[in-house]
Each structure stands twice: as structure tokens, then as C-alpha cells.
Structure 1
Amino acid sequence: MLLVGFENALTALVAGTASVCLALALMRLWDRLRGGRRGALGHDRLQPGLQPMIFLFRRQRLVDVTAPGRTLLDRVAAPDDEWGRLQRWIGPRFELAGERLDQLARQGRVELVGRHGIGSAALRLLAEDLGDDLIRITLTDPEAEQAGIVVDSMAQQAMEEELDLLRRALDQTPMLVWRQDAEDRVTWANAAYLRRAETLDDGSGGWPLPRLLDTPKPVPGAGTTTRRAPLDSNGVISWYDCHSHRMGDETMMFALPADAAVRAERSLREFVQTLTKTFADLPIGLAIFDRQRNLQLFNPALIDLTGLPTGFLTARPTLFDLLDKLRELRMVPEPKDYRSWRQQMSNLESAAATGHHVETWSLPGGQTYRVTGRPHPDGAVAFLFEDITSEISLTRKFRAELQLGAHVLDGLDDALAVFGPDGKVLVRNRAYLALWGDGAETLGAALAAWQDRAAPGPGFAALRARLTGHDEARRDSGAMAGPDGRLLRWSVTGLGGGRQMLRLSTPDIAADTGPERDDYASAMGAG
């Protein structure tokens, strides 16, 4: 009996345990099934489906819009009206969107699928004509419908901040940035480009955007292509350095303002033109050689003075080739031999490169040239050829006339001396030097020498007063005792400009009568 009772108890215990385990298993299965259903059904309640963007317009004026649609319009830059903003946003994402929407009144319904590409979502656009001038536009993303994608909030925030930073940077940059497709249509542009487009398009802001610049075509495999292009805005020309870079089937364009560079280049070009015109009018031949001694610049006077062929000069000869050509044309001094002449030309080039150097060339044809060499920056050197034949002839003629006058003065028996307004001795002849034998260079020194060698008297005092201008009753002639007691007759003549000429002669006393004889007697008595 005890054994039977034990078996019954054990059976009951096993049955109860099995019942509990089965109940737990069923409950767990039930919970799992409920959890799966909750995951399949309740997730939509926890994560609502993506709300479409719906816009309601009446005569292109916004009547109503969903929250995502409002967010989209707020993120799109000018124009101010919502219809223009929406057109600007959908234009690069839906091919021929503007033309198809213009046909909405006739067709009643237009459905478009967006492009697939870099930065483009697989969007679907549905435009419906509801009548009474009402148009409803719905934008949805078929790939995101019922996807239930959960995004990390921190990662989403970081991406949005970076995106906002990049968008602000591109919108605030002064350069024009835009993107073109394979047909050269503008598919995206930054704020600077949009502002310029609105200025040229009277602020209509329609899509597609106009191409503002004649941009370079990217060369396959060449990376970035650069070209400078003008932009005419109401008669005002602006210049841009355009850079194109291929990105798949599309091209990114960057246009940097180049007005300052263009102005600088224009100023430099005008300056060079002014110098060129100035050089062309100079009577002096000019030849400028670079650091390799190749001719870089010359003026027409060089051809006129040297007779060098124009074709030879335009071929940019070297300095020594030019000098050899001048030697062939007999436009350099006749050398004793070629080696000495070559050494002389080498010395000319070295002296001109290191500092200011001047030479005078007496040519076989009787002409005289002054050749000046000057160093220029960066190792360049300039040579100036000047015809000084007339100047040399005039100098020689003037020198000959001076020598003739000196010979005439030296041929006179009377002693002559000319004093300047400052008392400096300007001219004296050979008779004067023989009489006084002094080398006095001033009037004061000459008077002192005369007083030492001649006996002072009334005649000498009168001469001093006349020359120094201290005597109000100046006498223009008189007599005085000369060296060794000889009697001298003097006369002073004004030559203009404060200059005075003194003439001393030995008189013939027997022939003199009247007051002059008394002067001689007085001068001799004083002696």
C-alpha cells in the first residue's frame, strides 16, 4: 500500500511539473507571438510612416502645406514667393519639370519620377488639378515608404550641423559655384550664382537657371581645366577665372572673381604700350637683353642708327651676334684684329652688366656714337646708341674758335686781362704774363702782385679804384709805373655782366700831349 501511494504521488508530481512547464512554454510562445505582432504592427505606431510633402496652390499662391513641405520651403533660398522656391527645388531633381507642370491645366494630372544620381533621391512628384484654380503637388520617396528606418539622433545631429556648415560656406563665398549635367544644363548653384542669375533675369528666378559664363570644357584625364571668362551685367563687365572639374556625368564649376587681376594686367599692358610708344619716338637707339643676353626689346631708332635688318632683330639675336652684325656693317670702331675687338666687346658687356658704362665710338664713316650700357633687374642689360656726331662737330668747332681767339690775343703787344664779376681772372694773354709774370687767379691777388712789383702812385690808386669800383669818379684810362720803373698806360673797358677788361701798354711819351702827358709825368714823378 505504501508503495502504491508513493507511485501515485510521484505520478502526480511529474504531471504537475509537466503541466507547469507546458504552461510556461505556452505563455512564452504567446508572448513571442504577441511581441512579433507588436513589432510588426506597433512599430508603425511608435515610428509613424514618413509623412509626404503636400503643397496646395491657388493661382501659384500657397494655400496650405504639410509640415515637411513647410520645412522644405524654408530651406530654399530666394525668390520670396513659395511657388518660385518650389520650382527652384524640384527643377534640378525632375527632368523637364517646368514644361510638364505647364501642361497640368490641359492634362489634369502629371506624375514625374526624380533622377537617380549623386545627391538625388528617388523622388516621385504628383501634380493634380483640383479645379477652381487649385493645384495639389505631392512629393514622396518610394524607397523610404514603410521602411521604418531608425536613425541615431547624435549622428543625425552631427550630419545636420556639418551639412549646415557646408551650405553656409558655399552660400557666403564670393565665388560662383554651380553644377552642370552632360547637356550643360545648370542642376545646382550656390547663393552667389543665384543672386547674379536673378540680376540678369529680372528677379524671375525661374528654372532652369541660365548659364552665366562661357566655361571651359573639362579635358578627360586632365583634372581641372581653367579659363577666364567675362560676365556682362547691364553693360558692366566682370571677369572670372573659371575652373571645371568632372564628377561622373556632371561637372562642377567654380568661378573666382578676377577683376583685380584683369585691372592689374590692363594697367601693366597700358604701361608697356606707353613705354613702347615713348621708345618709338626716342632718337636714341635702345636694345635690352635678358640675363641670357638675348635681345628682348628694341626701338625703331636702333634700326635707323645702325642699319640692322628688322628681321634680324625680331629673331632675338644674342648680344654678341648683334655686335658681329654691326662689325659686318662697319658700324663699330675699326679694330686692329678680331681677337682684340672681341675682347673689347666682352669688356663692354661685363662693364655694362656691373654698372653704368659709357664709350665713344668713332666709326669709319665719320660718325661718332655714344654707347651707354646700364644694368637692369634680374641680370638684364640695356644698351643705348646715340649719334653725337653733330655734338662732337660743334664742340670741335667751338674749341677751334677758342683756340683762334687765344692765338689772336697772344699776338697782341698790349697786355690784356679780363676779370669776372666775382673778381676771378677769366682771360689773360701772353703779353700780360710776360709783363707781370704772376699766376694770380683773382683780382685781389693781381692787385697785390702789382703793388709789390710797381711803385705805388696816383695812377695805380686810380686803377685800383676803377677795378674795385670804390671811386665814384672812376677814370677809364690812366698811367702808372710798371715793373722796373717802366711807364704803363692802362685802360679799363666794361664787357657787360659785371666783367671788366684791363689793357696795359707802353706809351710813346714824345707823341703824347695834353692831359695824358701830365698823367705820365705825374706817374713817373711818383715813381
Structure 2
Amino acid sequence: MTVETGVTAITALLAGTFSVLLAIAVLRRWDRGGAGWRGHGRANRLDTRLQPMVFLFRKHQLVDATAPARTLLSRITAPDNDWQRVLQWIGPRFPDLGARLDQIDRLGRIEAVGTIGSGSAMLRVVAEDLGDDLLRIAITDPEAENAGIVVDSMSQQAMEDELDLLRRALDQTPMLVWRQDEAERVTWANAAYLQRAEARGDGVLGWPLPRLLDTPRPVPGAGTSTRRAALENNGAVSWYDCHSHRMGDQTMMFALPADAAVRAERSLREFVQTLTKTFADLPTGLAIFDRQRHLQLFNPALIDLTGLPTGFLTARPTLFDLLDKLRELRMVPEPKDFRSWRQQMANLESAAATGHHSETWSLPGGQTYRVTGRPHPDGAVAFMFEDITREISSTRKFRAELLLGTHVLDGIEDALAVFAPNGQLIMQNRAYRELWGKAADTLADALAQWESRIDAGAGFVALRARLTQSDDQARDNGAMTGPDGGLLAWTVSRLGGGRQLLRFRRPEAMRDPALSVAETRTERARAVGAD
């Protein structure tokens, strides 16, 4: 390579490097100029958006405000006073500033930094007394590192729409929603809360907002907690179910109206109390078991009837534990063996669970109990214990008296039959059945039966007329041909309730008893002489 060739190469290299540097410089200049040309209007708007919020008040009347400040006031719909609007917005972010603003005449200047939290991190407010009753309040963000970032209009519109939707939803909800700090000061509230607070405060609200409800304290680590609280206003009490949710050093509170639930619970409680009083006065022992067959409800009569200890019943024993305890107290029928006893009690439980079931227990002590089982909703079952000893005794006595009366009627030689007013045969004795055979069920059938077995004459016609026709005659009698062809006397007597007593008597039974005794003695004397 010659010297001339080397010089040419170096010259070309230096020219190329210079061209690249010149092109880079031109591009940078073009980019800065173009950005300025293209974004001049946007830069102006950005500068407008980044200017601080400044309010100028004279005796709590707004004199002037920057554009962001006026935008803020326009988004706070209530209250109507601008000073109250500013305090409402500042209060949650600077809790102690409201009280310090009242001392601005003495302090001259107040500077405060907002608490760390969602939407209000590290905000700074400066309040200055300018004299002549002028107060300047400036709100800035000293850590706006990203203040130059511009959000595209579509994203901004979407965020604003979502924010507006959330605001409207919270303001239209009937439940009370508010936020409170660690000192339990209300730092934010929705429209429903503000309305209730205004109603209690006669329309005048200050900051911080009053706390309306005795709210639950959240348990650390539990997330949420719930309790019921009452709110009284002019003698009217409203109930709310309060839920709390921890959010950093703040607590979100939600109070749902619970008046309907409270009324329903009160009605249910009163109904249960009424049932409890009714059960307590019942002479029938009551025991209600749930679907797991644990005792849930019993009344004092159960203790009186069974002798079960109160402590045993309040411990909510199972059904089979209760039955085993009754077996120990000899308050169940004496079983032949334990296996048959368990099977009998299992059958009792299954029958009571599937439908109405009733048993009669004859106890070793001579008492008689009726045990009734009924199914209840959700698989529960109820058992009722009734002492029917007196009822059983009365029934047995009545049956014995009926049996005695039947024996007495059967011992009478006359054939007797009693007919109801509708002609139904109520009663007959053995002599009647021997005379006419199987008794007919009605008077008409009986007349047909009699007529078929005898030679119906004037006596039978008179008897039929007497039985089928209603008259006031208390007693009537006559005679007719009997089924054996002999003479048969009849007598019809009126009984109470329109019933009629019919009596048939053979002629030999109508003879004088004294003559019958004399004839009997004569026959006996003849028998002794013959011997």
C-alpha cells in the first residue's frame, strides 16, 4: 500500500464519521422541533392541569380559585357552601387541619402533609392568612415524580366513567357506608350516611362527621366482623347489620338495613314464647328430637310424668339414651330381654319418623301411658306421653258395667228388645234370640221376621201398629200367636229419647209366683212319699 492510498482511506473514514454525527444532530434537532410543533397545545393543557389547587376565601366566602380547584368544587355536590365543600374534601386527608384552620388568625400560616393512603398519598396543604380577612389555601403534591406523564383520552374517559359509576352506586345504595381511621373518626361517607347524619344534626354538619352507629371492632387477622346496631332518631329506632373490613390503617364500614329481620326475629321469639307457655301448661309430656335424635325441647309435664332428672334433660340426650333412662326408672313396659327391648324402641323411632304412631304402655307400677310419635319438618320427631290410667280405669269399669247389664238381661226369662227412634235395634237378650233366632238389625226387618214365622192375626197387627206409629201412649200390651203356635203376650213401653222397649212373655211365665211355689212344694212332697 502506498502513502497516497493510506491518506485517501483515512480521509474517507473521517468524512463518513462526520456525516453520521451530522445526521444524528439533525435528527435530534428535528425531533425536538417536531415535538414542540406537534404538542404545543397539549403542553399548554398539561401545564394547566399540573398547576396547584389554590382557593382564596374571605370570611369563608370563595373569592377566587384556580381551574383545578374549581373542578374539584364542581365534583363535590353537597353541601351548597364552598367552604364546607373544601372542608369535606380536606377532612379525610388531613384529619387535624379543620381544627387548626379555626386558629389561622393566631398562627398566620399552617402547613400539613396528608396521611399515606389510597388517593391521598403525601399531599401537602398550605394555609396562609393574607390579611384583610383573606385566607389562601394551596394543595400540592410535592412528590409528583410522574407529573409529566400524559394519559390518553380514552383511558382517562374510561377511568372517569368507572369512577362516576362507583360514586353513583354508593350514593344510591340504601345501606350506610363510611370509612374511619384508627381513632374511629369518620373520614368518608356515602349519601345515605350523610342524609341520616343531617337528619340527626338538624341539617348542620361539621367535620369530622358524627359517628352514627356503635360499630363492631374488627378482630385482628379475622378479615371482617359483623354485629347488629340500633340508630335512634326522634324516638324511632332503626336496626342495621354492621360489617367491617380492614384496609390498611383505615376501616370500611357497611351497615345494611335490618328492620325487617328484627321484626321477623321478634315475631318468631314471641311465637316461641307463646308456644313455650302453652307447652308448660299442657298435662301431656312433650319431647322433640332433631334429625340427629338429640332432645331439643321438652316441657315440665315430661318431668312430672316420667320422673326424669332436669339436669339429664337439659344435657340434650339422644332418644335412645332417654329411653334407656326410662327403662332404669321402670317407666316403660317390662321387656322379656334387652334385645327385644332395643328392637321395640327402634321400631317405635322408625314408625314415629315415617308417620303417626301410637302405643299404650302398661307400666309395672300400675300406670298406663299412651306414647304418640309424630314426624316434624327437617327430619325431627316429637313424642307425647299421656297418663291414661284414669281413662283406662273408667273404660274398664264401664265395660264391666255393660257386661253386668248384659248378664242381667240374659237372666230374665222374658224376651226383650230395644229399638231406637230410627228403628235400629239397640239391644236384645238371650231369651229374645232363643225365641226368634238371629236378631234383625232394624224394626222393619224384625217385623218381617216375626210375620214369616207366625200366623199373623189381629194381635200381630196391633203390635205392628203400636211399634210403627208414634203416639203418646206410655205403655200398651196385647197377645198374638207365638212361633211355636202357642199364645205369646207382648208389651211395648216408651223409654227416654224416643226409644221403645218390647217384651214378649209366654203364658206360663205369667202365672202367680205364689201358686208356682205351692205347686213346687206339692211335687216335692209327692216325691218324698214315693221314696
TM-score, with normalisation over the residues of structure 1? 0.83
- Who is 2:76 aligned against? 76
* Distance in 2, Cα, partners of 1:205 & 1:113: 25
Change (3 A) 1:256 1:472: closer
2:308 corresponds to which residue? 308
In the alignment, the residues of structure 2 paired with residue 471 and residue 93 of structure 1 have an alpha-carbon distance, to the nearest angstrom, of 108
Contact 1:465 1:471 in 2 (8 A): no
Q: 1:30 to 1:182 in 2, by over 3 A?
A: closer
Counterpart in the other structure of 2:489: 489
User: Once structures 1 and 2 are overlaid, which stretch shifts more, 362-371 or 315-324?
Assistant: 315-324
How far apart, in 2, do the equivalents of 1:417 and 1:37 lie?
Answer: 130
Tell me, in whole angstroms, the C-alpha distance in 2 between the residues paired with 1:498 and 1:107: 114
Letter in 2 for 1:487: L
Counterpart mapping for 1:173-184 below 5 A:
173-184=173-184
- Which position in structure 2 is the counterpart of 1:517? none
In 2, Cα distance between equivalents of 1:244 and 1:114: 24
Distance 1:192 1:467 in 2: 90
> What CA distance in whole angstroms lies between the structure 1 residues aligned with 2:471 and 2:44?
134
Please give the alpha-carbon distance, in whole angstroms, between the structure 2 residues aligned to 1:35 and 1:438.
Answer: 134
- More displaced 10-residue stretch of structure 1: 144-153 or 181-190: 144-153
Q: Which moved more, 1:125-134 or 1:88-97?
A: 125-134
Greater Cα shift, 265-274 or 497-506: 265-274
Whether the 8 Å contact between 2:333 and 2:364 is mirrored in structure 1 is: yes
Q: Does 1:99 align with 2:89?
A: no
Q: Which residue of 1 aligns with 2:257?
A: 257
Secondary structure in 1 matching 2:396: helix
Aligned counterparts of 1:121 and 1:304: Cα–Cα separation in 2: 72
**Could you tell which deviates more after superposition, 378-387 or 239-248?**
239-248
SS of the aligned residue for 1:497 comes to helix
**Structure 2 counterpart of 1:406, one-letter code:** T
Aligned twin of 1:439:
439
CA offset digits 1:19-46 (Å, max 9, x no partner): xx9xx99x9799789959989xx89757
Residues 493-519 of structure 1: per-residue CA shift (max 9 Å, x gap): 22132211111223469989xxxxxxx
User: Counterpart of 2:183 in structure 1: which amino acid?
Assistant: E
Q: CA deviation at 1:349?
A: 2.1
Is the CA contact 1:127–1:135 (under 8 Å) kept in the aligned structure 2? yes
Shift of 1:51: 4.2
- SS of the equivalent of 2:495 reads strand
Structure 1 residue aligned with 2:424: 424
Measure the CA separation in 2 of the matches of 1:372 and 1:258. Answer: 41
In the TM superposition, what is the alpha-carbon distance from 1:52 to its structure 2 partner? 4.0
CA contact (8 A) 2:475 2:493 kept: no
Given that residues 92 and 188 in structure 2 are in contact (C-alpha distance below 8 angstroms), is that contact kept between their aligned partners in structure 1? Answer: yes
Assess, with a 3 A threshold, how the Cα gap between structure 1 residues 255 and 295 changes in structure 2: closer, same or farther.
same
Q: Matches of 1:510 and 1:89 in 2, distance apart?
A: 123
User: What is the CA–CA distance in structure 2 between the aligned matches of 1:350 and 1:383, rounded to whole Å?
Assistant: 12
Decide whether aligned partners of structure 1 residues 390 and 186 sit closer, same or farther in structure 2, where only a CA change above 3 A counts. same
1:502 match: 502
Does structure 2 conserve the Cα–Cα contact (< 8 Å) formed by 1:438 and 1:449?
Answer: no
Q: Percent identity?
A: 74
Match of 2:157 in 1: 157
Partner of 1:200: 200
Separation in 2, partners of 1:473, 1:112: 120
Contact persistence 1:293–1:318 (CA under 8 A): yes
Aligned to 1:236: 236
Which stretch of the first structure deviates more once superposed, 406-415 or 44-53? 44-53
Report if aligned partners of 2:95, 2:208 keep a CA contact under 8 Å in 1: no
1:421–1:180 CA distance, 2 compared to 1 (3 A): same
Alignment of 1:359 with 2:359, yes or no, is: yes
CA distance in 2, matches of 1:305, 1:511: 61
Contact conserved, 1:412 with 1:431, CA < 8 A, in 2? Answer: yes
Alignment RMSD: 3.3
How far 1:348 sits from its partner (Å)? 1.9
Q: Look up the SS of the partner of 1:229 in the other structure.
A: strand
Change in CA separation of 1:60 and 1:494 when aligned onto 2, cut-off 3 Å? farther
**Structure 1 pair 176–37 and aligned structure 2 pair: CA distance change class (3 A):** closer
Looking at structure 2, the residues matched to 136 and 249 of structure 1 have their Cα atoms a distance apart, in angstroms, of 30
Deviation of the 1:432 alpha carbon? 1.2
Partner of 2:320: 320
Relative to structure 1, the CA distance from residue 456 to residue 470 in structure 2 (aligned partners, 3 Å threshold; closer, same or farther) is: farther
Task: Give yes or no for contact 1:241–1:258 (8 Å, CA) kept in 2.
Answer: yes
Contact kept, 8 Å, 1:462 with 1:475, in 2: the verdict is no
The runs of 5 or more residues in structure 1 that have no matched partner are: 1-20, 513-527
Matching of residues 332-347 of structure 1 within 5 Å = 332-347=332-347
1:271 aligns with: 271
1:488/1:264 CA distance change after superposition, 3 Å? same
Secondary structure of 2:359's counterpart equals strand
The 3 A distance-change label for structure 1 pair 54 and 490 is same
Q: Which residue of 2 aligns with 1:18?
A: none
